C-alpha cells in the first residue's frame, strides 16, 4: 500500500529544531508498504531549523485561523501552501492514506498547541491534517498504527 508519511517520523531532519527522531514502528512499515515522506512546512517554504509555530484561537485549524511563529510573525500562507502541495502529492500519486505526526500545527490530527506558546494542548487539527481529511484522505497519527503478523492494521 502507498502511504503518505510525515517525513520526520522516518528520521528525516525536517523538524523545526532540525533533529532526527525516527519512529521505529513507522520505519518498520517500510518492509511491507511504500512510504512517501512529506514535510508540509518545508513544502510551504519554511526553513529548517525554523521558529516554533502555533495556531491562534485555541481550537486548531478550521480554515480561517492564523498560524504565527514564536516571534509573532504570521506564517499562515506558508502553512496553507504546504498543506495544498501535500494534497497535490497525494492526488498525483493516488494515495488515500496518511500517517502524520501528532501535535504538529501542520500534521496533528487530534491535539495541537493552543497558540499561547505555553505548552498547553487543545483538541484540534493541524492545517495539513485538516485539508487532507476534508479531501478524503484517511489520516492516522503515528500512535494509531498497529503492527501484527500481517503488517499494518
Q: Which single residue is written with the C-alpha cell 525536517?
A: 14
Q: Which is nearer to ligand SF4, 3 or 153 (CB)?
A: 3
* 60: contact with ligand SF4 by CB under 6 A: no
> Looking at 8, 67, 99, 131, which residue binds ligand SF4 (CB under 6 A)?
8
Please name the residues in contact with 144: beta carbons below 8 A apart, sequence gap of 6 or more.
Answer: 99
> Looking at 15, 75, 109, 125, which residue binds ligand SF4 (CB under 6 A)?
15
Using CA atoms, how far residue 136 sits from 9, 91, 96, 123, 132, in Å, is: 22, 10, 7, 21, 6
Q: What is the DSSP string of 121-139?
A: EEE---HHHHHHHHTT-EE
Minimum distance, C-beta of residue 101 to ligand SF4, in the bound complex (Å): 4
Distance CA 47, CA 57 (A): 25
**Count of residues touching ligand SF4 (by CB under 6 A):** 12
SS3 106: coil
Distance CA 97, CA 99 (A): 7
Minimum distance, C-beta of residue 37 to ligand SF4, in the bound complex (Å): 8
- Binding segment for ligand SF4 (CB under 6 A), chosen from 2-10, 19-27, 59-67, 134-142, is 2-10
Binders in 72-131 for ligand SF4, by CB under 6 A: 101, 104, 106-107
Note the residues at the interface with ligand SF4 (CB under 6 A).
Answer: 6-8, 14-15, 39-41, 101, 104, 106-107
Amino acid at each position: 500500500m502507498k502511504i503518505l508519511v510525515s517525513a520526520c517520523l522516518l528520521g528525516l531532519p525536517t523538524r523545526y529544531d532540525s533533529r532526527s527522531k525516527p519512529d521505529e514502528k513507522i520505519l518498520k512499515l517500510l518492509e511491507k508498504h511504500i512510504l512517501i515522506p512529506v514535510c508540509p512546512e518545508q513544502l510551504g517554504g519554511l526553513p529548517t531549523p525554523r521558529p516554533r509555530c502555533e495556531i491562534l484561537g485555541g481550537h486548531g485549524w478550521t480554515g480561517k485561523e492564523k498560524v504565527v511563529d514564536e516571534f509573532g510573525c504570521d506564517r499562515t500562507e506558508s502553512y496553507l501552501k504546504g498543506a495544498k502541495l501535500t494534497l497535490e502529492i497525494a492526488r498525483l500519486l493516488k494515495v488515500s492514506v496518511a500517517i502524520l505526526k501528532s501535535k504538529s500545527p501542520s500534521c496533528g490530527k487530534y491535539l495541537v498547541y493552543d497558540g499561547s506558546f505555553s505548552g498547553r494542548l487543545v483538541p484540534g487539527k493541524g492545517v495539513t491534517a485538516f485539508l487532507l481529511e476534508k479531501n478524503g484522505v484517511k489520516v492516522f497519527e503515528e500512535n494509531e498504527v498497529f503492527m501484527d503478523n500481517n503488517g499494518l492494521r
